[in-house]
């Protein structure tokens, strides 16, 4: 039997990137793009490389184009790290995995890479879902985003927030409160599925020519946050307030108010970015 699991792209509606700094966000799933993992029992353990793991190209020019668009990293390391953290999770919960069983696992994804649509986290979430089914392990929904987050942050040392993993685990439209006391006490915040009567017309724009690993923009911002930079801390608090207002506008169907709030979020982000450049540049 072939196990097939899927996780979809996501977009942040408001509050991004405060999820990495105990803020609040609202995000929604984008079903136009997906990552898919296939897993089946086999005599040996094997990870089948995906397109992002190619090491053979028609020319150096083709390689350089691929590197510029997709970076240096494919999905194999995500699958390896997912399996490692899944085993760690089960061991910590006293779940005895039969690791004498072997399987073959492969993935494919049409999520545009390195443009902020959650391509890496989608591979991780889809892999964890496949492993849960293969081993017959149930991970509580509220714990799944944290486990997926640990794959990249703890295992691969990639700076990232919880937002992508939450929306890809819960799906739909989700309001997220990453309250510091909750995160530190139990490892997850308050995640609320929103069910507005309908969504506003949304336009998602991305530019593959400006793709970059998410760790790059987060790195300096995280340093400023850790140092208690007043501009950054003020912006995070402002995100929390704007997200609450946006949630009310979304549920009321007030698209004009929602649009104004999204613009204010972008303005706050720009101010934080300028502060980062002045301090780190």
Bridge partner residues of 25 (DSSP): 176
Check residue 280 and give its pLDDT.
Answer: 44
Rounded distance between C-alpha atoms, residue 175 and residue 21, angstroms: 16
Q: What is the DSSP letter of 199?
A: P
Check residue 268 and give its pLDDT.
Answer: 57
- Percentage helix, strand, coil, to 5, in the chain? 50, 20, 30
Enumerate residues 6+ apart whose C-beta is below 8 A from 119. Answer: 9, 35, 109, 111, 112, 113
**CATH (domain of 39):** 3.30.230.10
Positive or negative: CA dihedral 206, 210, 215, 221:
negative
The residues annotated as belonging to the active site are 164
Rounded distance between C-alpha atoms, residue 104 and residue 95, angstroms: 22
Residue 136, class by beta-carbon neighbours within 10 Å (0-12 exposed, 13-18 middle, 19+ buried)? exposed
Q: How confident is the model at residue 200 (pLDDT cuts 50, 70, 90)?
A: confident
Bridge partner residues of 45 (DSSP): none
Domain range enclosing 73: 3-200+208-280
Q: How confident is the model at residue 211 (pLDDT cuts 50, 70, 90)?
A: low
- CA 225 remoteness from chain centre: 20
- CA 278 remoteness from chain centre: 28
Q: Residues 181, 125: contact at Cβ < 8 Å? A: no
Residue 142, pLDDT > 90, answer yes
| Entry pTM | 0.88
Peptide bond into 43 cis (omega under 30): no
How many domains would you assign to the chain?
Answer: 1
For Cα atoms 226, 229, 232, give the angle at the middle one, nearest 5 degrees.
95
Residue 254, pLDDT > 70, answer yes
Residue 213, pLDDT > 60, answer yes
Instruction: Read off the pLDDT of residues 105-125 as tens digits, 9 standing for 90 and up.
Output: 999 999 988 788 999 999 999
Enumerate residues 6+ apart whose C-beta is below 8 A from 40. Answer: 1, 2, 3, 103, 104
Q: Tell me the average pLDDT of the chain.
A: 88
Give me the DSSP letters along 12-28. Answer: EEESTTGGGGT-EEEEE
Check residue 107 and give its pLDDT.
Answer: 95
Residue 279, pLDDT > 80, answer no
């Amino acid at each position: 039997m072939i196990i097939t699991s899927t996780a979809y792209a996501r977009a942040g509606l408001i509050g991004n990137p405060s999820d990495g700094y105990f803020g609040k966000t609202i995000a929604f799933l984008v079903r136009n793009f997906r990552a898919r993992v296939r897993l089946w029992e086999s005599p040996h353990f094997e990870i089948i490389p995906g397109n992002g793991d190619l090491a053979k190209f028609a020319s150096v020019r083709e390689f350089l184009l691929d590197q510029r668009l997709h970076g240096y990293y494919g999905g194999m390391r995500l699958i390896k790290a997912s399996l490692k953290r899944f085993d760690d999770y089960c061991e910590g919960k006293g779940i005895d995995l039969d690791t004498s069983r072997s399987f073959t696992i492969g993935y494919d994804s049409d999520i545009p890479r390195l443009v902020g649509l959650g391509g890496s986290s989608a591979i991780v979430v889809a892999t964890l879902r496949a492993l849960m089914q293969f081993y017959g392990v149930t991970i509580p929904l509220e714990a799944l985003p944290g486990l997926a987050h640990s794959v990249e942050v703890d295992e691969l040392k990639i700076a990232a927030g919880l937002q992508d993993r939450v929306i890809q685990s819960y799906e739909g439209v989700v309001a997220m409160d990453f309250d510091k006391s909750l995160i530190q006490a139990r490892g997850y915040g308050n995640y609320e599925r929103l069910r507005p009567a309908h969504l506003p017309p949304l336009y998602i724009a991305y530019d593959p020519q400006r793709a970059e690993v998410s760790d790059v923009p987060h790195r300096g911002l995280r340093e400023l946050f850790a140092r208690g930079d007043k501009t950054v801390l003020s912006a995070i608090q402002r995100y929390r307030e704007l997200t609450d207002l946006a949630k009310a506008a979304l549920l009321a169907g007030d698209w004009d108010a929602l649009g104004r709030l999204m613009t204010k979020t972008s303005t706050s982000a720009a101010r934080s970015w300028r502060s980062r450049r002045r301090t780190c540049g």
